Amino acid sequence: MRTLDPHSPQIPRLASILILFALLAVTWLVWSGFFKALLLFLGLVSSVLCLWLTIRMRFFDDYLFCLPVGLGFVGYLFWLLREVLKSSLDVTKIVLSPSLPVSPRIARIRAGSEHPYDQVLFANSITLTPGTLSMDVDKGVITVHSLTEEGMRDLMSGEMDRRITALRRK
């Protein structure tokens, strides 16, 4: 299932562990702003604890930085924000209208990208948008529940999937 993606940057395992440790330590220092010995020690302990958990989760057996984070990703976030706004207004209208016009639908939708991180991004984007909810992800096929038929049609038009797939193909 895990296919190697030539487009994602590959960082050696030990280097990614050290980078994550540095990130955690810096975050602790900046967040607390205290430099007492006890608090520094506690920060060290929690950084190492987090690191141990991530190693146990086999996070580093894959790639660390394989989310396509870049300008395209920021653009995608703004597009997603607009979608969230639009569908929030739609759901609000439904909730506040006396007749409660719901027409729930359920469907299986195939993610365009085979990369597991893209599929997670797709499923979470679906859930984040009110009115659609992903219930299960199985081998790239996402079971989606929608509040209205219209919402499902929007999702089936495939724009979200196209945008996510396009992030990795540059």
Partner 1 sequence: METVIDIVSWLLLTSGGFFVLVGGVGALRMPNLYTRMHAASVTDSIGPILVIGGLILQAGMTLVSIKLAAILVFLLLTGPTASNALASAAMLSGHRPGLAQKMSAEDES
What is the contact surface with partner 1 in residues (CB under 8 A)? 30-31, 33, 81, 84-85, 88, 91-92, 94-96, 100, 102-109, 123-125, 127-136, 145-147, 149, 152-153, 156-157
- Residues 18 and 53: their CA atoms lie apart, in Å, by 14
CB of 19 to partner 1, least distance (A): 19
CB of 45 to partner 1, least distance (A): 21
132: helix, strand or coil: strand
- Residues 1 and 77: their CA atoms lie apart, in Å, by 27
The closest of 154, 95, 150 to 126, measured between CA atoms, is: 154
List, in order, residues 6 or more apart from 28 with CB less than 8 Å away: 43, 46, 47
The closest of 63, 44, 40, 42 to 52, measured between CA atoms, is: 44
Q: Residue 62 or residue 149: which is nearer to partner 1 going by CB?
A: 149
Q: Residue 48 or residue 81: which is nearer to partner 1 going by CB?
A: 81
Q: Residue 14 or residue 71: which is nearer to partner 1 going by CB?
A: 71
CB of 132 to partner 1, least distance (A): 8
Q: Residue 144 or residue 167: which is nearer to partner 1 going by CB?
A: 144
